[in-house]
């Protein structure tokens, strides 16, 4: 509990993700989680319905998508708009806050996608140097 560590950049901010108990850690996980990140990314282009989203986020199950959307809606990043028609129609879209989060997330995602050649090359080097094979 010493305060001797001066390297922390956020020690004076109200919320510090590096602290175990900080609620920002939970929200960050909703945002960056496997399905959270892809869901936010998909919604960045515009609102989507449940099954559209499901098709777009390849591999997500109904349960996980539903769960992910609930968490993001609860955090105020996604807005759910249900129309009481038959058959039911529900649109999901980013809130203004969610849009800012998703923008930063997409910057990261696109950079990672664009770096995959380097990453894959690094992996090969890594595996080769320590796998005697």
Partner DNA sequence: CGGGATCCGGCTTGATACTG
Partner DNA sequence: CAGTATCAAGCCGGATCCCG
Residues that bind its own copies (CB under 8 A): 1-2, 4-5, 7-10, 13-20, 23-24, 27-29, 31-34, 37-38, 41-42, 45-46, 52, 55-59, 73-77, 97, 100-101, 104-105, 107-123, 125-127
Q: Find which of DNA, its own copies, none residue 89 binds, CB within 5 to 8 Å per kind.
A: DNA
d(CA 64, CA 60): 6
Among candidate residues 65, 66, 67, 95, the one with its CA nearest the CA of residue 79: 95
- Residue 68 makes CB contacts below 8 A (sequence gap 6+) with 30, 33, 35, 36, 39, 60
Q: Find which of its own copies, DNA, none residue 121 binds, CB within 5 to 8 Å per kind.
A: its own copies
From candidates 11, 32, 51, 107, binder to DNA by CB under 7 A: 51
CA end-to-end distance (rounded Å), the chain: 47
Single out the segment in contact with DNA by CB under 7 A; choices: 1-9, 44-52, 95-103, 116-124: 44-52
**Residue 57 backbone class (left: φ over 0; alpha: ψ -120 to 50; beta: rest):** beta
Give the three-class secondary structure for 91.
Answer: strand
Return the residues of window 93-132 that contact DNA according to CB under 7 A: none
- The nearest distance, CB 124 to its own copies, in angstroms, is 10
């Amino acid at each position: 509990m010493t305060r001797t560590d001066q390297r922390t950049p956020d020690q004076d901010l109200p919320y510090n993700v590096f602290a175990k108990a900080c609620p920002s850690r939970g929200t960050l996980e909703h945002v960056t989680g496997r399905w959270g990140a892809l869901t936010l990314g998909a919604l960045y282009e515009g609102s989507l319905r449940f099954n559209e989203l499901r098709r777009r986020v390849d591999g997500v199950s109904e349960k996980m998508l539903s769960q992910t959307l609930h968490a993001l809606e609860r955090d105020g990043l996604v807005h759910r708009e249900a129309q009481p028609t038959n058959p039911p129609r529900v649109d999901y879209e980013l809130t203004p806050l969610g849009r800012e989060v998703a923008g930063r997330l997409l910057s990261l995602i696109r950079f990672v996608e664009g770096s995959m050649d380097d990453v894959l090359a690094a992996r090969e080097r890594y595996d080769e140097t320590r796998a005697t094979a």
